[in-house]
Amino acid sequence: MFTLLSCYLGTHRPSSGKHHHLNDIYPEFEITISAKGILIQNRCAILPRKAFPLILLGLGLILVAVSAYLISDGFTPQTNFSTVPIKVNFPAPELTLTDTQGVTHSLAEYRGQIVLVNLWATWCPPCKEEMPTLQTFYNKHKDEGFIIIAVNDGDPATDVLQFVDDYNLTFPVWLDPTYFATEQVFKTLNLPSSYVIDRNGTVQLMWMGGINRKTLDQYVIPLITEQS
């Protein structure tokens, strides 16, 4: 089997550094010298070409069988799209925007709470994927002085309202049609991006990418409990 694979997959044997004939290094090749020139033939070619579709079919059946076994055994593939947050320490920036109801708010209003600022867009796949997790986490901890402020990055208000309705979001959603929060305040081009501000107005955590529940529990709950 190894010889067969070495012929077709190009696996090379290590050289001893000495001069060898081709037959010494690759015995699967047969050299014929004649008046017409040198003919090199691969002895591994004895395997009929018709056998390759059968080999591929067999490998496919094996993969199907393994997949069926894993599924029947209760295996469920997990997608870990969350990135690990960076621990930072800088004052929360000044940010004033209008929410979906037309009311103007600023981050300064939420001093004394743990604030997770989430920068997102309706067209962003990881933004969509993390929203149910953010909503569930908010529902559980909103009575502990925790709030999420989701700042939309440049989408039309009608699209944002539809998104809020589709995902049943109940935390504040702010509109940012001029990309002020991303380009000038937090200076990022990554979506989603999240920043956790403690009760004293200091940014403690920063994410570039999606968030899952395990990461929220590990990094945000300690801030909620130790400062409550």
My answer on whether 26 and 126 are in the same domain is no
Q: What is the pTM for the complete model shown?
A: 0.65
CB 131 within 8 A of CB 169: yes
CATH number for the domain including 93?
3.40.30.10
CB 116 within 8 A of CB 195: yes
- Residue where a domain stops, chosen among 72, 96, 115: 72
Q: Does any domain span residue 79?
A: no
Can you read off the two tokens belonging to residue 34?
């004649």
Q: Which domain holds residue 58?
A: 2-72
Given a cut of 70, whether residue 7 has pLDDT beyond it is no
3-state secondary structure of 146: strand
CA–CA distance, 142 with 225 (Å, rounded to integer): 12
Mean pLDDT over residues 187-200, rounded?
95
Q: Does any domain span residue 77?
A: no
Mean pLDDT over residues 24-43, rounded?
49
Output the pLDDT for position 30: 52
**pLDDT-above-70 percentage for the chain:** 65
Mean pLDDT over residues 156-177, rounded?
98
Tens digits of residue pLDDT in 113-122: 999 999 999 9
Tens digits of residue pLDDT in 53-107: 666 667 677 766 655 555 454 443 434 445 789 999 999 999 999 999 999 999 9
CA–CA distance, 6 with 71 (Å, rounded to integer): 34
My answer on whether 125 and 199 are in the same domain is yes
CA–CA distance, 185 with 97 (Å, rounded to integer): 12
Output the pLDDT for position 103: 97
My answer on whether 15 and 123 are in the same domain is no
Structural domain count of the chain: 2
My answer on whether 54 and 104 are in the same domain is no
- Residue where a domain stops, chosen among 50, 72, 94: 72
Q: Does any domain span residue 78?
A: no
Output the pLDDT for position 83: 74
Output the pLDDT for position 61: 74
My answer on whether 123 and 162 are in the same domain is yes
My answer on whether 63 and 95 are in the same domain is no
- Residue where a domain stops, chosen among 72, 99, 120: 72
My answer on whether 161 and 205 are in the same domain is yes
My answer on whether 117 and 172 are in the same domain is yes
CB 226 within 8 A of CB 145: no
